[in-house]
Chains A and B, each alone.
Chain A
Amino acid sequence: MPSERTADAVVIGGGIHGCAAALNLARQGVRTVVLEKDRVARHASGVNAGGVRRLGRATAEVALSVAAARLWRDMPALVDDDCGYVESRYLKVAFTEEALEEAERRVAILRQQGFAHEEVIGQDAVRRLLPAANPAILGALHVAGDGAAQPYRTTQAFRRRAEALGARIQEASPVTGLTRRGTDWRVEMPGGALTAPILVNTAGAWGARIAALTGETIPLEAHAPMLAVTQPVAPFVDAVVGLLDGALSLKQYANGTVLLGGGVRGRAYPDENATELDLKGVGRFLSAAFRVFPHLRNAPINRLWAGIEGYTPDGLPVIGRGHAEGVVHAFGFSAHGFQLAPAAGQVVADLAMGCAPAIDVTAFAPGRFTHTYHSIRQDSANARAAAT
């Protein structure tokens, strides 16, 4: 029996990317339902470091990141909430000449592509911007005008705005099956099913499982990047600070607490929604923190945690139309998707509506990991070479 079409688009995954996609779809009048297996912002979207940075992005991501940065500067216009966004400088500091030279090469490449936001600054400038930092720092990769936001609050703001525009968010609804019904997808979950022609997969670390239900294999690993936050300490830094030659991300909030991370991974158990810390790994980014700011040695740690995130083999997200008709994937952001969300939501909505997105996302093509994809790319490259 053919089931009735119950929505125009079903978005699977109620993280920030799902909510941003739903917001952009609903804005175009698309009847959108978001299915979230747990609660909105339960995983990576709610517990990440809240970094809103263009600095240090892979070159393929810079255009999307720059577009997102413009949206971040006026979040109230987009989601009716400032999301706790505070603009700040970002510095990735270097203790070695080699790291600085590599940073110079990176800046040169970005300049060639027309992006001027990153620059290398020297020892004096670092000492001026980070007076509490280790004087042995030689320089830094620097950007002004990035910032940080509160991830849980941000995701909830996207959710509320999407709902206000007519999207429906359904929590505690894990998708158990996807089948084609004519030109529609039938989306099964415990106690019901939805039918819609458009399927958006924003399932984060579970994205490859949803892709598999559409018949598509996309490599993805779940990991649990770890974070720590200290008890309040006297104000000492107003920039977000990372390391060029090591794992560290550090920022101090207005309440004095200091967030420490750096992508060091704990153990992820996506089937159980559980993570375990690797306490030895925590030590790695904590040591890096007091290498940069020696006085942090004595700061008491208040909380440690890890979130479950999906990582692709090349560390770039999967954004693009799926193998099967009507499917758009946007997952596997590999621990740097939070900042991209406002722009990615627009791109995903464009892809879902069959339009060409305003930003080129071919580098993120879902099929890029397959052998066929690479031989086709190679063939066309050969053909182009032959034609010239």
Chain B
Amino acid sequence: MSAAPDLLAPDLLVIGAGPAGLAAAATAAEQGLHVLLVDEQAAPGGQYWRGVEAAPAALTAVLGRDYAAGRTAIERLRRSGAAHAPATTVWHLGRGSAGLEVGLASGTRAQLVSPKAVLVASGALERPFPVPGWELPGVMGAGAAQALLKTSGTAAEGAVFAGTGPLLYLVAAQYLAAGVRVRALLDTTPAGALTQALPHLPRALRRSAMLLEGAGWLAAIARRTRVVRGVEALRIEGTAHAEAIVWQTRHTEGRIESPHIFLHQGVVPQTNLSMAAGLTHDWHEGQQAWHPRTDPWGAASVPGLFVAGDGAGIDGAAAATASGTLAALEICHQAGRLDRSARDAAARPHRQALKRERALRPFLDALHRPAPQFLVPRAPETLVCRCEAITRGALEGALALGLDGPNQLKSFSRAGMGPCQARLCGLTLQGLIAERSGRSMAEVGYLRLRPPVKPLTVEMLADLEIAPALEDTDAL
């Protein structure tokens, strides 16, 4: 982590080096802003372009043209003059008495910096998929399975893929293309989903190339492995490790032995930072997720804070590049580097790209909306909060006492209090309360998150290095 004085109080701090963060950091640095781009990973690229700089040609061929494009985005960042701090976590984002306050951690050091503007480009995470046995070793998200492929080129032989959503099909297709055996794909897309999605199809046809690509994955999967459609229930068996997955459709059921189960039912914005920063969020019914409220430039409800990319709403990598650029242009405008007309002229192609990419989303959202029984598990023994080992049954007990808000349920049951900071259970808790109370997801709301957004040690926090701008607050 750089400790150069101008980086303790940069003009812009970008959080996350995926498509949105890379585009934003480069755009702002090219306009002359002091930009610090911080990222958890050792190399830039985010989830989408994970490991792209180091990936061998054979792997890049399997992962496709859009993946390879990440190299161009990273080269642009390197030329732009933006400082890049890899392997750096953001554990705090808030307002101090002297402005924005961001807690960074790298190695054994923690710092508090005070940027003039912050862009949160923290991307997406896989939606929780609570079924009995999902906590067993050997069970992981399809996105995590893809990350393994991208970083180390390793893939698990004989895995079962289960769930719904483009990423599930993409990763299964990539595994097959890499010559890896896949036991089966258990598709949980609800029977009526296509009917629900059809009204959105005409708009989606504006991105027909992407639709065709998706159809291509499905065809490739169906040719080379067993596909079970209409799966309505899943259970993973095993004692110390996953051993088999048991599935059920309306008419039939089966059991497939495999130590590798890849679950996936879509991605949701990674809102832990934006929530911790106290930003206003709105419930997005189509995506069944919270979106930080932003204006067309990505400006959020706290002055100086912006959100772009999938962290603001799931629109995909191309849209993230566009929304990251738009946010950077507005930040440059506010910093006096671009006048209004220059900003608007530069923004035009990115606005158009964003519109084009977003045309596809309502169709995909409707088609892959998870079935209710996979959002809120039915079996009482299913773990909802894995960190604290709280089952649906235990939560029912607390709900029966009248503790019917997410914070009340959390405080009483401890669900959501563990190290994952509710990333694996927050939406399930909310869904359970909504289901039991008959209230809407928006009415129920999300639980309050406590810092640190990412863990750091007692000593790191005790020895916190504080930017001079923030030290001055004592004098106020």
Contacts of A236 in B (CB 8 A): none
Binds A, one of B28-36, B58-66, B90-98, B166-174: B90-98
B153 interface residue per 8 A CB criterion? no
Question: Are A297 and B457 in contact (CB-based, < 8 A)?
Answer: yes
B451 interface residue per 8 A CB criterion? yes
Question: Are B450 and A300 in contact (CB-based, < 8 A)?
Answer: no
Of listed A283, A299, A301, residue having the most chain B CB within 10 A: A301
Q: Can you list, as one digit per residue, whether each of A163-192 has a CB less than 8 Å from chain B (1) or not (0)?
A: 000000000000000000000000000000
Contacts of B286 in A (CB 8 A): none
Q: What is the minimal beta-carbon distance from B385 to any residue of chain A, in angstroms?
A: 13
Question: Are A301 and B455 in contact (CB-based, < 8 A)?
Answer: yes
Q: For the side of the interface on A, what is the size category?
A: 35 or more
Q: Can you list, as one digit per residue, whether each of B446-470 has a CB less than 8 Å from chain A (1) or not (0)?
A: 0000111001111101111010000
Contact of A283 among B97, B407, B451, B464 (CB under 8 A): B464
**A279-B455 contact given A152-B411, A156-B401, A156-B412, CB 8 Å threshold:** no
Contacts of A298 in B (CB 8 A): 457-459
A46 interface residue per 8 A CB criterion? yes
Contacts of A384 in B (CB 8 A): none
Q: What is the minimal beta-carbon distance from A36 to any residue of chain B, in angstroms?
A: 12
Contacts of B403 in A (CB 8 A): 156
Contacts of B461 in A (CB 8 A): 228, 279, 282-283, 286, 301
Alpha-carbon gap, A280 to B462, bound state (A): 8
A123 interface residue per 8 A CB criterion? no
Alpha-carbon gap, A135 to B102, bound state (A): 37
Question: Are B464 and A279 in contact (CB-based, < 8 A)?
Answer: yes
A134 interface residue per 8 A CB criterion? no
B303 interface residue per 8 A CB criterion? no
Question: Are B455 and A290 in contact (CB-based, < 8 A)?
Answer: no
Q: Can you list, as one digit per residue, whether each of B137-151 has a CB less than 8 Å from chain A (1) or not (0)?
A: 000000000000000
Alpha-carbon gap, A304 to B92, bound state (A): 10
Contact of B462 among A274, A283, A300 (CB under 8 A): A283
Contacts of B455 in A (CB 8 A): 231, 300-302
Alpha-carbon gap, A217 to B459, bound state (A): 44
B292 interface residue per 8 A CB criterion? no
Alpha-carbon gap, A301 to B459, bound state (A): 10
- Interface SS of B by simple majority: mixed
Interface residues of B in 76-95 (CB under 8 A from A): 92, 94-95
**A303-B417 contact given A41-B411, A283-B462, A298-B459, CB 8 Å threshold:** yes
A287 interface residue per 8 A CB criterion? yes
Of listed A47, A230, A297, A299, residue having the most chain B CB within 10 A: A297
Question: Are B419 and A300 in contact (CB-based, < 8 A)?
Answer: yes
Question: Are A304 and B405 in contact (CB-based, < 8 A)?
Answer: no
Question: Are B456 and A301 in contact (CB-based, < 8 A)?
Answer: yes
Question: Are B457 and A283 in contact (CB-based, < 8 A)?
Answer: no
B408 interface residue per 8 A CB criterion? yes
A265 interface residue per 8 A CB criterion? no
B418 interface residue per 8 A CB criterion? yes
- For A284, give the chain B residue with the smallest CB separation: B462
Question: Are A304 and B450 in contact (CB-based, < 8 A)?
Answer: yes
Interface residues of A in 323-381 (CB under 8 A from B): none
Question: Are A286 and B462 in contact (CB-based, < 8 A)?
Answer: yes
Alpha-carbon gap, A276 to B276, bound state (A): 11
**A276-B463 contact given A301-B455, A302-B455, CB 8 Å threshold:** no
B259 interface residue per 8 A CB criterion? no
- For A277, give the chain B residue with the smallest CB separation: B451
Alpha-carbon gap, A87 to B65, bound state (A): 64
List chain A positions with a Cβ less than 8 A from chain B. 39, 41-42, 46-47, 152-153, 156, 160, 228, 230-231, 255, 260, 267, 274, 276-277, 279-280, 282-283, 286-287, 289-290, 296-305
Q: Which 5 A-B pairs have the closest CB atoms?
A: A297-B459, A286-B462, A152-B411, A300-B455, A303-B450
List chain B positions with a Cβ less than 8 A from chain A. 92, 94-97, 101, 103, 112, 278, 388, 401, 403, 405, 407-408, 411-412, 417-419, 450-452, 455-459, 461-464, 466
Q: List 8 A-B contacts (CB under 8 A).
A: A39-B405, A160-B401, A276-B94, A283-B462, A298-B457, A300-B419, A300-B456, A304-B452
